[in-house]
């Protein structure tokens, strides 16, 4: 009798193209389960929390919703954003309403250059480029601290304060995470990003913690770079990068730049991790709801499918995760591309091409867990 490992996944497609890219990722997971011949199963529970749901019910996450999510091994998230709800209401109402209470303090965003995908970077043609942005995901500029109308000064005189919060513990855990990640990679280097010349309190604390922790990782090369200089470096010297660790806001901006340099926002994957596993982690493409193409079935599902592969990594299914990434590379390498990458394949066609590759790869080399 083969034993089945069952993983329970909460799926939250959310808004816009979230539904179609999450469906694509689940189709791939379904294939992984099928190919495992009974050794792996995924139990999917879908939650309808979206902006439409908010407009109807007055909230994104209902009472008891977080407790329900907590019962799952992972959360698979699409996107949130709608023209009918202010962006800060939808972001705080759904995405941050999960990442913050579940202390998903490490947000991992690999920047992957795929074969067959043209990058605006000249160097991408003849240089092996591959880096990971590690985003502090629990505090910094997204701490939600501040206020408006401090003394009701009347029309035209409003005052708003938005404060960043940097704690030594928060800096230390994400910087340590980046060093540990660097040790697992071919190029053992961590680049720390701040703006400590202008922001002399929080970001100087970050720099000091980085210098202190670096002393414990003498085998890892380090550099500290200001965020403006790092933006230029992404474009001019991407070959110098391996792990880039930055605050919540800086890393959010840099990872969008990274995925655009890799070819499209539609490619980028992301994992919001609670490394201690006290809470489920959440996996989502970096892109948003893309209202301009929503409902047309033409979105690029690669970011969402790669995010599902990061979820398998977290489940310990590393061979299966690798096979998904290989299947994606085979598909783009064969010139099968979605519209945002200059091709003409729609979401379903891209997904089926990746599924077919996964089956072909599996037929050649079944992963160890499936040949017990």
Comparing CB distances to ligand ATP, the nearer of 50 and 196 is 50
Comparing CB distances to ligand ATP, the nearer of 266 and 280 is 266
Reading the block at residue 162, the tokens are 């938005």
- Sign of the C-alpha dihedral, residues 321, 325, 330, 331? positive
Comparing CB distances to ligand ATP, the nearer of 281 and 345 is 345
CA 345 to chain centre: 24
Min dist. Cβ of residue 84 to ligand ATP (A) = 12
Comparing CB distances to ligand ATP, the nearer of 19 and 280 is 19
Min dist. Cβ of residue 76 to ligand ATP (A) = 15
Residue 126: is it exposed, middle or buried by C-beta count within 10 angstroms (0-12/13-18/19+)? Answer: exposed
DSSP state of 146: E
Min dist. Cβ of residue 320 to ligand ATP (A) = 23
Min dist. Cβ of residue 300 to ligand ATP (A) = 3
In the bound complex, which residue of the shown chain has the CB atom lying closest to ligand ATP?
288
Min dist. Cβ of residue 366 to ligand ATP (A) = 31
Min dist. Cβ of residue 41 to ligand ATP (A) = 28
Query: Which residues of this protein are in contact with ligand ATP, per CB under 6 A?
Result: 17, 21, 79, 81, 265-266, 287-293, 299-300, 303, 340
Comparing CB distances to ligand ATP, the nearer of 18 and 140 is 18
Q: 106-112 and 269-273: which strand pairing? A: antiparallel
Contact 26, 355 (CB under 8 A): no
- How many angstroms separate the CA atoms of 362 and 356, rounded? 10
- How many angstroms separate the CA atoms of 124 and 114, rounded? 10
Strands, E, within the chain: which ranges?
A: 5-14, 40-46, 74-79, 106-112, 130-136, 140-148, 160-165, 189-194, 221-226, 243-246, 269-273, 281-285
Comparing CB distances to ligand ATP, the nearer of 280 and 288 is 288
């Amino acid at each position: 009798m083969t034993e089945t490992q069952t993983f329970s996944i909460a799926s939250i497609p959310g808004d816009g193209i979230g539904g179609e890219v999450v469906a694509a990722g689940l189709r791939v997971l379904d294939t992984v389960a099928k190919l495992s011949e009974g050794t792996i199963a995924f139990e999917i529970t879908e939650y309808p929390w979206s902006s439409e749901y908010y407009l109807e019910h007055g909230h994104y996450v209902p009472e008891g919703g977080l407790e329900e999510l907590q019962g799952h091994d992972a959360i698979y998230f699409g996107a949130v954003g709608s023209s009918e709800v202010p962006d800060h209401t939808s972001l705080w109402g759904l995405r941050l309403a999960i990442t913050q209470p579940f202390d998903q303090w490490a947000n991992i965003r690999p920047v992957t250059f795929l074969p067959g995908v043209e990058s605006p970077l000249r160097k991408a043609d003849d240089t092996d480029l591959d880096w990971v942005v590690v985003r502090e995901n629990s505090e910094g500029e997204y701490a939600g601290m501040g206020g408006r109308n401090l003394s009701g000064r009347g029309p035209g005189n409003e005052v708003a304060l938005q404060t960043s919060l940097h704690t030594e513990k928060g800096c230390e855990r994400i910087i340590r995470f980046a060093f540990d990640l660097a040790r697992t990679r071919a190029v053992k280097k961590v680049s720390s990003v701040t703006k400590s010349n202008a922001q002399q309190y929080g970001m100087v604390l970050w720099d000091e913690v980085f210098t202190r922790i670096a002393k414990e990782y003498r085998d890892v090369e380090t550099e500290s770079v200001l965020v403006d200089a790092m933006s230029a470096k992404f474009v001019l010297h991407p070959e110098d990068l391996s792990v880039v660790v930055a605050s919540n806001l800086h890393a959010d901006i840099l990872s969008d730049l990274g995925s655009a340099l890799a070819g499209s926002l539609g490619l980028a994957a992301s994992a919001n991790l609670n490394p201690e596993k006290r809470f489920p982690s959440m996996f989502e493409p970096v892109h948003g709801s893309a209202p301009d193409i929503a409902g047309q079935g033409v979105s690029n599902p690669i970011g969402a499918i790669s995010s599902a592969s990061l979820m398998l990594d977290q489940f310990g299914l590393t061979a299966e995760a690798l096979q998904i990434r290989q299947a994606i590379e085979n598909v783009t390498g064969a010139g099968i591309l979605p519209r945002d990458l200059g091709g003409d394949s729609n979401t379903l066609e891209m997904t089926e091409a990746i599924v077919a590759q996964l089956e072909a790869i599996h037929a050649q080399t079944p992963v160890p867990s499936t040949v017990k």
